[in-house]
């Protein structure tokens, strides 16, 4: 029999040989200890167990469960119930984890670069609320326990801190734009307001992550044809290109509702060169005076202008008063064909922008409230709404740059 290192683990066969050696030498435990390399206490204990129980006494029963065949009927039922209880607890844990993960995906703003971030947050919250064991939760999530504890003690990286700061700026600008800025305008806003040039793809990812989606325009309703009366030629012919300010103006009247389905009317003129609003008037009456005041304001603000003013075939533009105004100020009048609203596309496009970004998303209880809101949006449109094709300038800035 080979000598063994003291306190080393022994097999059943080795324990039998050690005991037999001790018995053959008249219970000389000291000699067996030196010969086999085990402790005196081990030899003594093994010998006593062998004498009392035989080979069965030398078996290592540490951590051993009794075979099912050795259990009584009651013990078998208890074991079955225990296994079912553990199985149910595990299934309940799996269900709670899936629910928590769905909840976090909806409300959690994840700026971490760790792809298991949501899993770790779910584990932490379930451990706090349900007192589930961390080890079991990690098993359900399919992550390592060491990875979870490493995440729990780590500090945010410089990139994560920058993403969080950038998300705060995007949220602020988005709210200031009344939730109308998309990715492109947000790019120019960040460049202008915080002097930060950010990749458009990154802005899109962060806005999606935070659920910031601008309002989408509603489908334009059909326009009805008008009966021709005292109309002018369509000089524009859908040529919307302008080389300088005050070359081509487009005008129209739009109906707005407030209170108990009461009507107000907004007349505006837009300059095709810089898409700026040259003049606008709000009134509770859709009459000739509304249009006359709009045109007068525009021409008095730009005294040296002699534009082509294009309109649809509204009764105000076909009136005798409008014809007299044209002769007095010397501007050229152009009118759309009947039923062809796209002939007046620049102002129609502006109505779509105004209504989708502001009007459709508000409720106005009074005329004064509506008027105040339109004035506020007009100021925003002229001074704060950055235009991508103008390289991020506002309509007013682009107009001033050209003058």
Taking only Cα atoms into account, the Rg of the chain, rounded to an integer number of angstroms, comes to 42
> How far from 236 is each of 228, 233, 239, 334, 343, CA to CA, in Å?
18, 9, 5, 7, 8
Residue 211: pLDDT over 60: yes
Residue 288 confidence (pLDDT)? 92
Residue 10 confidence (pLDDT)? 80
Residue 122: pLDDT over 60: yes
Tell the residue number behind the tokens 């389905």, with chain if given.
261
- Average pLDDT over every residue of 90-112: 81
Residue 224: pLDDT over 80: no
CA–CA dist 337, 360 (Å, integer)? 28
- Average pLDDT over every residue of 327-350: 91
% pLDDT > 90, the chain:
40
Q: Which of 100, 185, 109, 176 is nearest to 137 (CA)?
A: 100
| 254, β-bridge pairs | 266
Mean pLDDT of the chain: 86
364 CB contacts (<8 Å, ≥6 apart)? 256, 257, 258, 259, 370, 373
**CA 95 distance to own-chain centroid:** 26
Residue 159 confidence (pLDDT)? 84
Residue 262: pLDDT over 80: yes
- Average pLDDT over every residue of 19-39: 84
Buried/exposed 115-142: b ≥16 CB within 10 Å, e otherwise: ebbbbbbbbbebeeeeebeeebbbebbe
Q: Let me know: does 138 contact 175? Beta carbons within 8 Å.
A: no
Residue 205 confidence (pLDDT)? 87
Confidence of residue 269 (pLDDT cuts 50, 70, 90): very high
Confidence of residue 21 (pLDDT cuts 50, 70, 90): confident
Residue 101: pLDDT over 90: no
- Average pLDDT over every residue of 207-213: 84
What's the pTM value of the predicted model, to 2 decimals? Answer: 0.57
Over residues 347-403, the pLDDT tens digits come to 999 999 999 999 999 999 999 999 999 999 999 999 999 999 999 999 999 998 887
Q: Let me know: does 317 contact 291? Beta carbons within 8 Å.
A: yes
Residue 351 confidence (pLDDT)? 94
CA–CA dist 110, 279 (Å, integer)? 46
């Amino acid at each position: 029999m080979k000598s063994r290192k003291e306190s080393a683990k022994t097999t059943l066969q080795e324990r039998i040989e050690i005991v037999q050696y001790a018995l053959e030498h008249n219970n000389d435990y000291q000699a067996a200890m030196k010969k086999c390399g085990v402790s005196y206490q081990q030899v003594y204990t093994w010998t006593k167990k062998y004498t009392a129980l035989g080979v069965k006494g030398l078996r290592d029963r540490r951590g051993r469960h009794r075979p099912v065949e050795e259990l009584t009927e009651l013990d078998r039922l208890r074991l079955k119930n225990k296994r079912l209880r553990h199985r149910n607890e595990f299934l309940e844990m799996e269900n709670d984890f899936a629910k928590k993960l769905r909840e976090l995906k909806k409300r959690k703003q994840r700026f971490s670069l760790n792809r298991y971030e949501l899993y770790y947050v779910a584990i932490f919250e379930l451990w706090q609320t349900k007192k589930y064991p961390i080890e079991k939760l990690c098993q359900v999530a399919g992550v390592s326990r060491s990875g979870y504890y490493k995440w729990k003690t780590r500090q945010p990286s410089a990139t994560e801190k920058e993403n969080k700061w950038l998300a705060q700026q995007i949220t602020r600008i988005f709210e200031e734009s009344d939730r109308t800025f998309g990715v492109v305008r947000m790019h120019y806003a960040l460049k202008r307001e915080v002097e930060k040039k950010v990749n458009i793809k990154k802005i899109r990812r962060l806005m999606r992550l935070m659920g910031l989606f601008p309002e989408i325009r509603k489908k334009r309703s059909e326009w009805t044809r008008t009966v021709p009366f005292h109309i002018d030629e369509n000089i524009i012919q859908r040529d919307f290109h302008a080389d300088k300010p005050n070359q081509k103006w487009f005008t129209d009247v739009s109906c707005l509702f407030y209170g108990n389905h009461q009507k107000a009317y907004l007349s505006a003129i837009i300059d095709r060169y810089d898409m700026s609003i040259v003049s606008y008037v709000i009134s509770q009456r859709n009459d000739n005076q509304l249009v006359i005041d709009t045109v007068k304001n525009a021409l008095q603000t730009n005294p040296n202008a002699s534009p082509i003013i294009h309109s649809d075939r509204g009764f105000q533009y076909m009136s005798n008063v409008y014809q007299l105004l044209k002769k007095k100020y010397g501007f050229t009048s152009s009118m759309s064909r009947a039923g062809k609203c796209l002939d007046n596309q620049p102002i129609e496009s502006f109505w779509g922008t105004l209504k989708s970004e502001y009007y459709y998303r508000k409720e106005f209880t009074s005329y004064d409230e509506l008027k105040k809101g339109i004035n506020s949006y007009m100021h925003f449109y002229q001074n704060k709404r950055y235009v991508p094709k103008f390289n991020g300038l506002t309509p007013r800035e682009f107009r001033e740059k050209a003058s």
